[in-house]
């Protein structure tokens, strides 16, 4: 990998880690089949969240900083 790609990956990791610390969860909608009798089918939509542990956000930020530094040193 060249140095620009390393710096870009590092910045993306830092941004993803900061968003993970800020939002704390990723919301999504799940469709579940409630009734399935012959041609009759009923579904229900439920909103759920996938929690993001704060340690993952912190680790992503630290890893991003390390990758940015490695990319900057490789350039010099």
pLDDT of residue 76: 63
Q: Give me the domain span that covers residue 27.
A: 3-75
Neighbour-count burial of 20, counting CB atoms closer than 10 A to its CB (0-12 exposed, 13-18 middle, 19+ buried) = buried
pTM equals 0.72
For tokens 């140095």, the residue is 3
**Whole-angstrom distance, CA of residue 3 vs CA of residue 5:** 5
Total tally of structural domains belonging to the chain: 1
Instruction: Quote the CA–CA distance of 20 and 39 in Å, as a whole number.
Output: 43
For 34, phi then psi, to 5°, come to -90, -45
Instruction: Write out the chain's pLDDT in tens, 76 residues.
Output: 788 899 999 999 999 999 999 988 989 999 988 888 888 899 999 999 999 999 999 999 999 999 999 988 876 6
């Amino acid at each position: 990998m060249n140095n620009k790609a390393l710096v870009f990956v590092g910045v993306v990791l830092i941004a993803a880690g900061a968003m993970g610390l800020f939002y704390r969860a990723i919301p999504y909608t799940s469709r579940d089949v409630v009734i399935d009798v012959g041609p009759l089918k009923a579904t229900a939509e439920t909103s759920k969240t996938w929690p993001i542990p704060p340690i993952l956000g912190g680790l992503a930020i630290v890893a991003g900083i390390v990758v940015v530094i490695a990319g900057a040193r490789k350039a010099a």
